[in-house]
């Protein structure tokens, strides 16, 4: 049951029920309106955190590997005995170092090639990528009393598996000079719940520990590429709204990807006598400019919207655009270095 706090209740006791019904209806309408915000997706290009300067080709070495699988390390159980029993064979077995090494190597090479910023070479290259893979798998079995369950099934068991993969890596140039070093980590958690410990374990064994480790290694590879190469990320923008058909039609067109139609509606809004509509139009046209890569124009519109409304959201968007402009300048400078560099 949902409880509504801070509701305004009339003092006339005879009308209490009607007041509560009206309050409930208003709450539903308010929540419904709040859930109708128009959201658009933009593909935003970001600069890498690590600056590799004029590097155009990379040689990727196979990373060294270490890992640990810890089954049942909780609730006073004999963790060492269970580790010996479960981690030797079957779905609880740790992946072999060779398996992790080869999957990480081929996955990283593939991710770099799909990104396309660097050429991957098996011979002499502008820079070399070396590193180490460290993975951890921790299983924790817990039990809870379930007083409402039928006799003989008063306990509920939950097995929680946490899997994380960390890649420590270094990039050096042809002469062995370190261009940068860092680490990336990706982790995931999976839970199984049932009324018996045996059934929980059977659920957990349906997918091997090794497959979970390789999934996290693949996710960490993707993060490594983002660390060293320009990349695109899909980001959401929430459009502004006001009363009136142009606002509704403009936002609907933007959500459908028809930016020109959307801009036409917003430009009509910008000539409105309603200040709220003019401010919404200014902001939404800024989002349109951003989607087209016109960052200077987007910044101007967001700053205008903030100047008129003092809405903190518009100020934050203006700062985000300034950050994007700084990133674009870094990428332009690096590309100039790459163009001027002597080929190998």
Task: Return the number of other C-beta atoms located less than 10 Å from residue 302's C-beta.
Answer: 27
310's tokens: 């003092």
Which residues on adjacent β-strands are paired with residue 68? Answer: 136
CA–CA separation, 6 and 24 (whole Å): 12
Query: What is the CATH class of 237-337?
Result: mainly alpha
Query: Are the folds of 57-232 and 237-337 the same?
Result: no
Question: Can you give the pLDDT at residue 250?
Answer: 97
Residues 6 or more apart whose CB falls under 8 angstroms from that of 17 comprise: none
Question: Can you give the pLDDT at residue 80?
Answer: 37
Q: So where are the chain's domains?
A: 57-232, 237-337
> Exposed, middle or buried: residue 263 (CB in 10 Å: 0-12, 13-18, 19+)?
buried
Question: Can you give the pLDDT at residue 201?
Answer: 86
Count of residues in the chain? 344
Whether the Cβ atoms of residue 141 and residue 72 lie closer than 8 Å to each other: yes
Name the DSSP letter for residue 238.
E
- Residue 224 dihedral angles phi and psi, to the nearest 5°: -60, -45
CA–CA separation, 304 and 111 (whole Å): 41
pLDDT in tens, the chain (344 residues): 333 333 333 334 334 434 433 433 333 333 344 446 899 999 999 999 999 999 999 999 999 999 999 876 443 344 434 443 444 444 556 678 899 999 999 999 999 999 999 999 999 999 999 999 999 999 999 988 876 656 656 788 999 999 999 999 999 999 999 999 999 999 999 999 988 888 888 888 888 889 999 999 999 999 999 999 999 999 999 999 999 999 999 999 999 999 999 999 999 999 988 999 999 999 999 999 999 999 999 999 999 999 999 999 999 999 999 999 999 999 999 999 998 877 65
Sign of CA dihedral 214, 218, 220, 221: positive
Whether the Cβ atoms of residue 32 and residue 95 lie closer than 8 Å to each other: no
CA–CA separation, 182 and 335 (whole Å): 22
User: Would you identify the CATH topology of the domain 57-232?
Assistant: Rossmann fold (3.40.50)
Question: Can you give the pLDDT at residue 197?
Answer: 86
User: What does the CA dihedral 214, 215, 216, 219 come to, rounded to 10 degrees?
Assistant: 120
The runs of H, that is alpha helices, within the chain are 16-34, 79-86, 97-115, 197-204, 209-228, 245-255, 259-269, 275-291, 295-309, 312-340
CA–CA separation, 191 and 76 (whole Å): 20
Residues 6 or more apart whose CB falls under 8 angstroms from that of 233 comprise: 43, 44, 46
Evaluate if pTM is beyond 0.85.
no
- Residue 96 dihedral angles phi and psi, to the nearest 5°: -70, 150
> Exposed, middle or buried: residue 312 (CB in 10 Å: 0-12, 13-18, 19+)?
exposed
Convert 321-334 to b/e letters by CB count within 10 Å (16 or more is b): beebeebbeebeeb
The runs of H, that is alpha helices, within 174-208 are 197-204
Question: Can you give the pLDDT at residue 91?
Answer: 57
Question: Can you give the pLDDT at residue 152?
Answer: 57
Question: Can you give the pLDDT at residue 11?
Answer: 37
């Amino acid at each position: 049951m949902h409880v509504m706090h801070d509701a305004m209740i009339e003092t006339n006791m005879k009308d209490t029920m009607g007041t509560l019904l009206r309050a409930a209806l208003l709450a539903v309408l308010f929540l419904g309106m709040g859930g109708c915000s128009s959201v658009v997706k933009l593909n935003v290009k970001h600069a890498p955190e690590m600056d590799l300067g004029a590097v155009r080709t990379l040689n990727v070495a196979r990373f060294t590997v270490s890992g640990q699988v810890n089954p049942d390390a909780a609730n006073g159980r004999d963790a060492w005995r269970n580790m010996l029993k479960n981690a030797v064979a079957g779905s609880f077995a740790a992946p072999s170092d060779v398996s992790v090494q080869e999957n990480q190597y081929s996955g990283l090479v593939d991710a770099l090639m799909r990104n396309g910023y660097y050429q991957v070479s098996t011979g002499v290259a502008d820079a070399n990528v070396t590193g180490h893979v460290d993975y951890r798998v921790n299983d924790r079995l817990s039990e809870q009393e379930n007083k409402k369950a039928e006799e003989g099934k008063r306990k509920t068991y939950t097995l929680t598996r946490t899997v994380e993969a960390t890649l420590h890596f270094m990039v050096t140039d042809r002469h062995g000079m370190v261009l940068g070093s860092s680490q990336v980590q990706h982790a995931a958690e999976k839970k199984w719940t049932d009324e018996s410990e045996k059934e929980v374990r059977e659920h957990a064994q349906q997918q091997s520990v090794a497959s979970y480790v390789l999934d996290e290694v693949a996710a960490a590879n993707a993060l490594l590429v983002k660390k060293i190469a320009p990349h695109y990320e899909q980001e959401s923008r929430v459009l502004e709204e006001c009363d009136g058909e142009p606002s509704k039609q403009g936002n609907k067109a933007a959500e459908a990807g028809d930016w020109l139609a959307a801009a036409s509606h917003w430009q009509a809004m910008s000539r409105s006598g309603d200040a709220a509509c003019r401010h919404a139009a200014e902001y939404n046209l800024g989002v349109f400019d951003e989607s087209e890569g016109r960052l200077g124009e987007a910044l101007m519109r967001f700053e205008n919207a903030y100047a008129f409304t003092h809405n903190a959201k518009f100020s934050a968007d203006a700062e985000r655009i300034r950050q994007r402009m700084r990133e674009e300048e870094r990428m332009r400078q690096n590309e100039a270095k790459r163009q001027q560099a002597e080929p190998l």
